[in-house]
Chains A and B, each alone.
Chain A
Amino acid sequence: MYSRVYKSVVSLPPLLWVGCFLLLPYALMFAHSFWVVRESVIVHQWNLANYKTLFTNPLYVQVLFRTMRIAASVTVCSILLGYPLAYFLAFHAGARKELLYQLVVVPLWVSYLVRGYAWKTILGSDGVLNGFLQYLHITHEPVAFLLYSPFAVVLMLTHIYTPFVFLPIYATLEHIPRPLIEASHDLGAGSSQTFFRVVLPLSMPGLLAGATFAFVLSLGDFLAPLLVGGPSSTMIANIVQSLFGAALDWPLGAAISVFILILTITLLFLSEILEKRWAFK
């Protein structure tokens, strides 16, 4: 058994760290969200005006819905790409499995910004994709919606978060005992029945974990709209950024942050519960 002194000496630094850099900022953010700005000065007057603004001002409501729509699209696209890839690697890749796995994981080491600028180069009006389309005479002038649109944001975020969706799905698929697949075939199920009755249910925890990653990470993203989004795809984090920056309305920014935080925690919590329910030993 460790002595009391030893325990406190060991646990003090992490506690201090958590207190200073996590709890205190959250407390400040929480407090700010109930204050107001008058004549560019934050007044410590407790009220719910910021939350009222968030839920009634059409601008914020619209951005909030757009953000969720984009996050949901990214989630769906990442699953549609990541699940088949994970399935192929887990069940059919054979000797190439390791190589393919590395190919999926390596992009994670490339800076987010680099990948953002790469998409800019690809999608721009004099970019690689438009140049290619015109070269093939499919289009005669640059296609404008490619860049600076919600499409570009979803595309870029899907590219970035697909590995995050792939990894947990791949892990659960790899852990499905192969005799279960054989048992399913043995009992008369073909490949598609086996997939829907055995493989998919058993991979739900991984699918859910991946979906949660994609959704939550997209929800808080502000760089993709900044780099490839344009005004029509402003997301909620961009609003927070501008409220804390140029607009100097910290209390409203804090209220939005608190809302996103609660939303995220709720999602994580729900996904945790479902993952536990679907985790079969």
Chain B
Amino acid sequence: MSASAANSPQPAATPGEVQLEVRGVAKRFSSVEVLKNIYLNIAAGEFLTLLGESGSGKTTLLRLIAGFEQPSAGEIWMNGERLDPLPPYKRRVNTVFQNYALFPHLNARDNVAYGLRVKNTPANETASRVEEALRMVKMFDFANARPSKLSGGQQQRVALARALINRPQLLLLDEPLSALDANLRKQMQSELKSLQREIGITFLFVTHDQEEAMALSDRIALLRDGSLEQIASPREIYAHPATAYTAQFIGQTNLLRGDIRGSIATCGALRWPLDESDGPVIFSLRPEAIRICADGKRQNNEVKFRAAILQQLYSGSSELLEVDCGNGQTLRVRIPARGPLSGEHDFVFLLADAVRVKE
């Protein structure tokens, strides 16, 4: 995909500045509180993903920003202008819908032209901008095809061109890839990412797929039961999950529950020194942070333990082990592929890799 001058936005905010502000937004449907007191800032040009399970409120937040729902409390601001009292057609925000929502009675060209036609854009300008938009998403050859004649991926591209033709300041994408099969999905992910980089529009992307969120986003906002659990870059959120929920939702992890007493952390069979105050504690320890210690020696900053192999799942480049550290405490360990293992082995992990998380 290639961007062009005609379809690039005129951002009202310079890259990096706050473009969208969600201030204390809540949404209630009759007695159900779908969103609770959400604060969120999105920077201009950012690719931000709202990640969460179904029912976490991520789509509702998107719909509030698009204007399809009204917040029960709080305000939404864009470029210093209050957004939430405006009807959807007056917001410089466009949406790519989950099932594309292409107009079935219009061909690809007329679908893309829709946003310009309703604003009475001159015909020749409409034609040239539509052509550019269709070329940008590589759909110019299908300009005359009705949506029913297009594949899911092609409909996706048309929907993208249709949403971008109005030069929005913010593009909302509601699980746009969820209807595509795995291969196409990977391809669309990378195209979406490079498109976003080229045209520089702020993307607010909704997904329940944490891998997709990791691959695409500048930052991930993880929602849980209508509240913001954590917002951080993919690397940050993976390396330093704030809560046990985040640690489990993003990637795989071992949650170690235990106590600190007298500067010693004890989680089942594992013990290591930790200079923190006494009390119950939870650690997240990623499977790949643990490795087999062939010589049985550990460094000062490492924790060593002995465990028996329960199960070994081979996945090409790596293998996932399930090991028993005694007393029924099992851990998952991801190591580079190295052939079948059995019996007891010594394992080590870096102290710093056991990340303390909240419940």
Residues of A near any B CB (own CB < 8 A) = 177, 179-180, 182-190, 193, 197-198, 201-202, 278, 280-281
Nearest CB in chain B: distance from A195 CB, A: 12
Q: Is the interface of A mostly helix, strand, loop or mixed?
A: helix
Interface size on B, residues (CB 8 A): 27
Contacts of B146 in A (CB 8 A): 280
Count of CB-CB pairs between chains A and B under 8 Å: 70
Q: State in angstroms the CA–CA spacing of A185 and B90 once bound together.
A: 9
Q: Does B162 contact A (CB under 8 A)?
A: yes
Apart from A182-B88, A198-B103, A281-B148, 14 more pairs, CB < 8 Å: A179-B97, A179-B98, A179-B99, A180-B104, A182-B101, A185-B89, A186-B66, A187-B89, A188-B89, A189-B89, A193-B118, A197-B114, A197-B118, A280-B148
Contact with A along B113-126 (1 / 0, CB 8 A): 01101110000000
Q: State in angstroms the CA–CA spacing of A182 and B99 once bound together.
A: 12
Q: State in angstroms the CA–CA spacing of A180 and B68 once bound together.
A: 12
> By the criterion CB–CB under 8 Å, are B101 and A183 in contact?
yes
Q: Does B338 contact A (CB under 8 A)?
A: no
Nearest CB in chain B: distance from A74 CB, A: 28
> By the criterion CB–CB under 8 Å, are B97 and A182 in contact?
yes
Q: Does B87 contact A (CB under 8 A)?
A: yes
> By the criterion CB–CB under 8 Å, are B94 and A186 in contact?
yes
Q: State in angstroms the CA–CA spacing of A193 and B119 once bound together.
A: 10
> By the criterion CB–CB under 8 Å, are A280 and B68 in contact?
no
Q: Does B243 contact A (CB under 8 A)?
A: no
Q: Does B155 contact A (CB under 8 A)?
A: no
A204, closest chain B residue (CB): B105
> By the criterion CB–CB under 8 Å, are B166 and A188 in contact?
yes
A186, closest chain B residue (CB): B95
Q: State in angstroms the CA–CA spacing of A177 and B100 once bound together.
A: 11
Q: Does B176 contact A (CB under 8 A)?
A: no
10 interchain residue pairs of minimum CB distance: A280-B104, A179-B101, A187-B115, A189-B118, A183-B101, A185-B88, A280-B105, A186-B95, A188-B89, A201-B105
CB-contact partner of A180 in B87, B95, B103, under 8 A = B103
Contacts of A188 in B (CB 8 A): 89, 115, 118-119, 166
Contacts of B68 in A (CB 8 A): 182, 185-186
Q: Can you report 27 A-B residue pairs in the complex whose CB atoms are below 8 A from each other? A: A177-B101, A179-B99, A179-B101, A180-B103, A182-B66, A182-B95, A182-B101, A183-B95, A183-B97, A185-B67, A185-B87, A186-B67, A186-B68, A186-B89, A186-B93, A186-B94, A186-B95, A186-B163, A187-B94, A187-B118, A187-B166, A188-B115, A188-B166, A189-B114, A190-B87, A190-B89, A278-B105
Given A193-B118, A280-B148 in contact, is the A187-B162 Cβ separation under 8 Å?
Answer: yes
- Which residues of B, 174-216, contact A by the 8 Å Cβ criterion? none
Q: State in angstroms the CA–CA spacing of A187 and B99 once bound together.
A: 16
Contacts of B67 in A (CB 8 A): 185-186
Q: State in angstroms the CA–CA spacing of A179 and B99 once bound together.
A: 9
Contacts of A190 in B (CB 8 A): 87, 89
Contacts of A182 in B (CB 8 A): 66, 68, 88, 95, 97, 101
Given A182-B68, A183-B97, A188-B115 in contact, is the A281-B88 Cβ separation under 8 Å?
Answer: no
Contacts of A186 in B (CB 8 A): 66-68, 88-89, 93-95, 163
